Amino acid sequence: MTDMPNATPKNSLLRQDARTVKRNRAETRFKAYGIAAISVGLLMLVILLVTIIGRGTGAFQQTFLTLDVQLLEAKLDKKGNRDLQDIKKVSTFGYAPLMAAALEKKVAESAVESDLKPKEMAALLSKDAAAQLRDFVLENTDLIGTSVQFRFLTNSRVDGYMKGRVTRESIANDKNINAAQLDLVDALVKDGALEKRFNLAFITGADASDARPEAAGMGVSMIGSLFMMLVVLALALPIGVAASIYLEEFAPKNLITDIIEVNISNLAAVPSIVFGILGLAVFINYMHLPNSAPLVGGLVLTLMTLPTIIISTRASLKSVPPSIRDAALGVGASKMQSVFHHVLPLAAPGILTGTIIGLAQALGETAPLLLIGMVGFIASNPPDGIASGLMDPNSAMPAQIYEWAKRADPAFYERAWGGIIILLVFLVTMNAIAVMLRRRFERRW
């Protein structure tokens, strides 16, 4: 070696040996796999979000037709005494002619050429429009006898035409609308009377029957979900936390507690439909609680959420360092004092996070609701009061979405996507709150 001063030594650090090269290559490959996996995941997420937003945002807009309606006293309040009971006796059939007249007048005034009969013109309006007007009049009886400008919902075909879902080609076999009606729609759009607007009723309203998708909204099922979540929170949180504290801090470690522990973990993995049929058998058939009631839904979801809450609560109790328990016991605190004064406050953020995640899970759960009758067309008005909210038939957000998705009219399909957006907003908000709580209260030791 001495005669070759420039030659590198055999074990030079400047050159990688074969083994190192192989190892490094394996590492590079593995990193590439990881990046590929993440990219695929992200791509899926983007596709999902784009699809949901692309298809769902339409549900938040609705086509409205603005008309001046004469609220004729002779039709709506024959006695003329503005007595609410008497006005209520006039059904929606009494209002339909007023609307038809208003539309006819509008067409005449705006110099739109149309050969349509008044009845065909009126078909542009939603079947729900008369009910809309009636509700408005019942709330504002003093307006009877005057002329009011009112924004009517249009038929879902008109709405579909405005959103590009219905085309002149696609209506060939459609009995609900014809080309002449679409001509009138075009003319009214030009006139400015017919336009797409933000549809608050989709967020606040109730479900509607098959014939009037334009009137369907999520509001009542949101209230159903809210009541279920209240039941879950009121039951699952205290029961879950108490059970976890007992199991983690007080229970002796023996065969029985081992079995309980294993079973709780298994319970978390039980398909939710099993809880549904359990709820049907116990709460409805045996305890005779009402069908389709958010109370029953809440009870079933409580069963489902309990294991999640227990597992996360126990995990956060476990993560409290034992030195804190020793410290409390060392100054003469009782077991309970050490748990409630020191361990529980330190575990609280974890417990809260677990509870919120459990609630979010329950909020999105559909399968158990199938069996207790919360999925289906449940035409209900917003409940008045807590008791009616708990006991009256209602749906839930995911059940409502499922219900819309299986209906025939494509207008409902759009609403299902819109419902998914609302549900996701709720879930994302809840998860964000969970993350925030964890960040805020996390303690460093």
Partner 1 sequence: MKDNYIPEVDVTTDKIKISARNVQVYYGENHAIKDVSVEIQDKTVTAFIGPSGCGKSTFLRCINRMNDTIDICRVEGDILIDGEDIYDRNVDPVQLRAKVGMVFQKPNPFPKSIYDNVAYGPRIHGLARNKTELDEIVERALKRAAIWNEVKDRLQAPGTGLSGGQQQRLCIARAIATEPEVLLMDEPCSALDPIATAQVEELIDELRQDYSVVIVTHSMQQAARVSQKTAFFHLGHLVEYGETDKIFTSPEDPRTESYITGRIG
Residue 209 CB, nearest distance to partner 1 (Å)? 58
Closest CB to partner 1 among residues 158, 328? 328
* Tokens encoding 117: 């009969």
DSSP E strands, 301-342 = none
Sign of CA dihedral 388, 433, 367, 296: negative
In sequence order, the 6+-apart residues with CB closer than 8 A to the CB of 9 are: 1
Number of alpha helices (DSSP H) and beta strands (DSSP E) in the chain: 20, 3
Q: How far is the CB of 248 from partner 1 (least distance, A)?
A: 13
Sign of CA dihedral 154, 158, 164, 166: positive
Q: List residues near partner 1 by CB under 8 A.
A: 252-253, 321, 323-334, 337, 341-342, 346, 443, 445
Place of tokens 């067409």: 107
Smallest distance, partner 1 to C-beta of residue 253, A: 5
DSSP 363-427: HT--HHHHHTT-SS----PPPSSHHHHHHS----HHHHHHHHHTSSSHHHHHHHHHHHHHHHHHH
Q: Judge contact between 296 and 226, C-beta under 8 A.
A: no
Nearer to partner 1, 229 or 320 (CB): 320
Contact 160, 221 (CB under 8 A): no
Shortest CB 350 distance to partner 1, Å: 14
Q: How far is the CB of 385 from partner 1 (least distance, A)?
A: 44
d(CA 248, CA 240): 12
Query: Which CB atom, from 41 or from 345, has the smaller least distance to partner 1?
Result: 345
**Nearest distance, CB of residue 260 and partner 1, angstroms:** 16
The rounded distance, in Å, linking the Cα atoms of 160 and 220 is: 24
CA Rg value for the chain: 32
CB-nearer residue toward partner 1: 80 or 321: 321
**Comparison of 292 and 338: residue with beta carbon closer to partner 1:** 338
**Amino acid at position 110, single letter:** S
Contacts of 142 by beta carbon, 8 Å cutoff, 6+ apart:
82
* Distances 277 to 285, 300, 368 between C-alpha atoms, Å: 10, 9, 7
User: Judged by CB, which is closer to partner 1: 93, or 445?
Assistant: 445
Q: Which is nearer to partner 1, 19 or 443 (CB)?
A: 443
What distance in Å separates the CA atoms of residue 49 and residue 428, rounded to the nearest whole number? 13
Work out how close the CB of 299 gets to partner 1 at its nearest, in angstroms, rounded to a whole number.
Answer: 35
Least spacing, CB of residue 257 vs partner 1, in Å: 10
Of 223 and 328, the one with the shorter C-beta distance to partner 1 is 328
